Structure 1
Amino acid sequence: MLLFDRILPIVLLVAAVGALFASVVVVRQQHVAVVERFGRFNRVLRPGLNLLVPVVETAHDVSLMTQDLHLDYDAKTKDNVTIGLEVAIQYRVDQEPCADVRESGIYKSVYTLADPVGQIKDYFADALRSQIPTRDLETVFSEKDAIASAIGEDVKEKMVGYGYAIVTTLITSIKLPADVQASMNRIITTANDRVSATNEAEAAKARSVIAAQADAESMKIQGEGIAQQRIAIAEGLARSLSTIQESGLSSNEANMLLMFTQRLGMLEKFAEKGSSTLLIPEDLGSTDVMAQVMAAIEAERRDGGKA
Structure 2
Amino acid sequence: MLPAPFIITILIIGLIIFASFFMVKQQTAAIIERFGKFNAIRHSGLKLKIPFVDRVAGRLSLKIQQLDVIVETKTLDDVFVKLKVSVQYKVITEKVYDAFYKLDYPHEQITSYVFDVVRAEVPKMKLDDVFVKKDDIAIAVKTELNDAMLDYGFDIIRTLVTDIDPDPQVKIAMNRINAADREKTAAQYEGDAQRILIVEKAKAEAESKRLQGQGIADQRREIARGLEESVDVLNRVGINSQEASALIVVTQHYDTLQAIGSETNSNLILLPNSPQAGSQMLNDMVASFTASNQIGEAMKNQKEKKKDA
Mapped to 1, the partners of 2:224 and 2:283 lie a distance apart of 26
| Aligned partner letter, 1:77 | T
Aligned alpha-carbon RMSD (Å): 2.4
1:129 offset after TM fit, Å? 0.6
SS of the aligned residue for 1:200 comes to: helix
Structure 2 partner of 1:194:
184
Task: Say which SS state the counterpart of residue 74 (structure 1) adopts.
Answer: strand
Match of 1:236 among 226, 229, 237: 226
One-letter identity of the residue aligned with 2:110 = I
Indicate whether 1:171 and 2:169 are aligned.
no
SS at match of 2:271: coil
Read off the aligned partner of 2:83 and give its amino acid letter.
Answer: L
SS state of the match for residue 69, structure 1? strand
- Verify the 8 A CA contact 2:69 2:114 in the aligned structure 1: no
Post-superposition CA distance 1:59-101 (Å, at most 9, x none): 1212111122222210111110001112222221123x4xxxx
SS state of the match for residue 81, structure 2? strand
Which residue does 2:131 correspond to in 1? Answer: 141
> Match of 2:43?
46
Unaligned runs of 5+ in 2: 286-309
Q: Structure 1 stretch 111-120 or stretch 65-74: which is displaced more?
A: 65-74
Q: Decide which of 250, 255, 273 is 2:263's aligned counterpart.
A: 273
Following superposition, which runs of at least 4 residues in structure 1 exceed 6 angstroms of deviation? none
Alignment of 1:1-307 (within 5 A): 7-59=4-56, 60-95=58-93, 97=94, 104=95, 106-274=96-264, 275-280=266-271, 285=277, 288-290=280-282
Distance in 2 separating the partners of 1:124 and 1:18: 48
Taking only the aligned residue pairs, the percentage that are identical comes to 34
Asked whether the 8 Å contact 2:33–2:40 carries over to 1, the reply is yes
TM-score in terms of structure 2 length: 0.83
Letter of the structure 2 residue corresponding to residue 288 of structure 1: Q
In the TM superposition, what whole-angstrom CA distance separates every residue of 1:129-157 from its partner, at most 9, and x where no partner exists?
A: 11111110111111222222221222122
Q: What stretches of structure 1 of length at least 5 have no aligned partner?
A: 1-5, 98-103, 294-307
Question: Size of the alignment, in residue pairs?
Answer: 280
CA contact (8 A) 1:89 1:166 kept: yes
Task: Report SS of the residue matched to 2:208.
Answer: helix
Shift of 1:167: 1.7
State the 1:286 CA deviation.
10
What is the TM-score with the length of structure 1 in the denominator? 0.83
